[in-house]
Chain A
């Protein structure tokens, strides 16, 4: 009996160890691509500093999905903010992954227990608006006393401002934003005497040259619909028309864009991340010479590539002189269940988080883009970018940036598009059939 229980304990220990390893692995994977983080680390972030000294202290709860170093950065910002504001205590709460956060917001809304502030993936904001969760920020932004001056508002990066507002109503402000950039293996390119690619033609030539010997020239993330959308835009097509709520991607331009991607994959000069989940790993191993991915992936490419390859990043390739890149990521939203005093306090925190100094520091610590133009002018940021030139790729594309139409049912459309484009790549449907079917199904969902 004694032996059994000893073994049992040993077994239990092993299990815990395994579980712990698993957890860690997950963390690495997550950090490897913060765009679609998978996280379980819900360590209590509730003990934020802050003395309730003054007469009417206000507490602001802030739900986010940042973990590891990103969470550390947020905690540091919160501490600084709480120290500067005697009456306000911001309480950051890590809710796990983006999926977890969304689910908890759903549950919170249903139970009337929403926090005052939360990080929100941009494409889910239309659902929040449609279900009346959100307080528009205009009354705060336009307030003469606590609002933003015209210069300040103009300092917010245009593409972010546009993606946060609907007909002049601000439902969010940008926080952790990213864009797509082109990562390339400098060693491989030099070996073949090739220049850094600037156009899609270059991409093709380089991919054709370097493919072989276990190396694939070009890589796409599994979520390469962003590249499809960018190509479509460069060709002059429309993905979803926001005004009419209509998907229009099965156009001649859409077919051309999808064919470009499919041809490269069929010829064997490009691949998707596939079972590697994210491109940073095969790229870091040196299996892929170039790939287009999220700028938020820079720190993870760096860790995957360490000791294996030399690499850098640049802006997305142009097509016939046209540049286009999607900007995505997360915004901050304020929920309408909070009381007025809480909302006012929350607004102070939003202003603080998006101030040039903080957003610059956030960018340097997290790899997300600074959300203010002037943030790039701060001395610290300038030195940082000089030392880490790959970070330039993101901010250099602000003017070429666009975002996908924000519509209710956007995630349903994404599921449909991913499914149909997968069938196209598998050769089970032609490009025309797949896109047409995706468009029909998308419109059925959107017009509901």
Chain B
């Protein structure tokens, strides 16, 4: 199998890779390079591809824009709010689903549903749930004597509302991946631990978690990247605005505003590039942490 690479085999491999590569280059690599270049356009005619002047002013402009700073902070809050809750909840559900329950595939389907449903449909349903006068959520909270909360119109609660929706929406995907990881763990480890008298909690801590770490690692990287890119949920939940008083303005939303609403193509590209750097840094940190904590069987 592992022959030395020859020209012939390289060419063959390249041919196999070509279709995917072409798509990636056209739709990913080229736009990334192009938007990187565009972030340096300061005087330009976007539609005729004429650039009169390059410079760094786009970057200084966005870094001095209170809204961009706000967007970065909001995005960070969102990531911190969504990723841990989502991972812990989905792991718990996955472990439960992994035990012997009747109608397992039924539950799997149920939990996977939100993931495959269109964000817009989900957001519309949730905007009813969150409605302060007529919503289900406030109705339930009312049972515990909690006054109606203005989920969607009070800047204090709009971010929690967005986080709730996003956690719920992302659960299914994480659960499926966790389930696959759980099913990969050899049952003999559990049997051995049982013989040693380990409790269920111990078995979870000392067998499941370490052996699940590659899956956990994969999910945390994907979740963090996805959370940084949040946009659709906001657009749909707040009816095409960035929440009350921009309280859910995220970096991608900022990019959208600058590009499509304000025709500031250079600024939008600069903001997108800053986001890319942030995500890239986070991923590097995760990779280096991963080397320490992830066990491959």
Residues of A within 8 A of B (CB): 3-4, 7-8, 10-12, 14-15, 18-19, 21-23, 25-26, 29, 36, 38, 40, 99, 102-103, 106, 109-110, 127, 131-133, 222, 274-277, 408-409, 411-412, 415, 418-419, 422-423, 426, 428, 445
Contact = CB atoms under 8 A, between A and B. Distances in A.
B172 to A, nearest CB: 11
Given A8-B105, A428-B245, A22 B122 contact: yes
A117 to B, nearest CB: 19
Contacts of A8: 105, 109
Contacts of B153: 274-275
B288 to A, nearest CB: 39
A410 to B, nearest CB: 10
A430 to B, nearest CB: 15
A22 B132 contact: no
B118 A19 contact: yes
Contacts of B197: none
A15 B112 CA distance: 10
B130 interface: yes
B261 A411 contact: yes
B106 A7 contact: yes
Contact of A426 (B125, B240, B244, B257): B244
Contacts of B155: 426
Contact of A102 (B121, B244, B260): B260
Given A19-B117, A22-B117, A415-B257, A110 B46 contact: yes
A419 B246 contact: yes
A26 B151 CA distance: 21
Given A23-B121, A419-B245, 10 more contacts: A8-B105, A10-B109, A15-B113, A18-B113, A19-B118, A26-B124, A131-B47, A275-B132, A277-B239, A411-B262
A7 B245 contact: no
Contact of A110 (B47, B124, B239): B47
A320 B240 CA distance: 36
Contacts of A415: 257, 261-262
Contacts of A106: 260
Contacts of A10: 109
Contacts, number: 98
Main SS of the interface on chain A? helix
B246 to A, nearest CB: 6
Contacts of A29: 124
A109 B127 CA distance: 36
Contact of B262 (A7, A23, A99, A412): A412
Interface of B: 45-47, 105-106, 109-110, 112-113, 116-118, 120-122, 124-125, 127, 130-132, 150-153, 155, 239-241, 244-246, 257, 260-264
Given A15-B117, A109-B47, A38 B261 contact: no
B129 to A, nearest CB: 11
Contact of A40 (B120, B262, B263): B120
Contacts of A22: 117-118, 120-122, 124-125
Nearest to A414: B261
Contact of B127 (A23, A40, A275, A426): A275
Contacts of B131: 275-276
A18 B257 CA distance: 30
Contacts of A276: 131
Given A11-B109, A275-B130, A415-B261, A25 B47 contact: no
A4 B105 CA distance: 6
A426 B247 CA distance: 12
A330 to B, nearest CB: 17
Contacts of B130: 275
A254 B47 CA distance: 37
A102 B240 CA distance: 14
Nearest to A413: B262
Find the residue from A7, A12, A132 having the highest chain B CB count within 10 A.
A7
B240 A25 contact: no
A103 B260 contact: yes
B245 A36 contact: no
Given A15-B117, A423-B245, A127 B105 contact: no
B240 A99 contact: yes
A7 B118 contact: no
B268 to A, nearest CB: 12
Contacts of B262: 409, 411-412, 415, 445
A133 B46 CA distance: 12
Those 4 A-B pairs whose CB atoms lie nearest each other, nearest first: A22-B121, A11-B109, A412-B262, A275-B152
Contacts of A25: 121, 124
A110 B257 CA distance: 18
7 contacts: A15-B117, A22-B124, A22-B125, A127-B263, A412-B264, A422-B245, A426-B245
A36 B246 contact: no
Contacts of A419: 245-246
Find the residue from A106, A275, A419 having the highest chain B CB count within 10 A.
A275
Nearest to B67: A419
A132 B117 contact: no
B240 A38 contact: yes
Nearest to A429: B245
Contacts of B124: 22, 25-26, 29
Nearest to A445: B262
A7 B281 CA distance: 42
A29 B150 CA distance: 21
A304 to B, nearest CB: 14
A428 B156 CA distance: 12
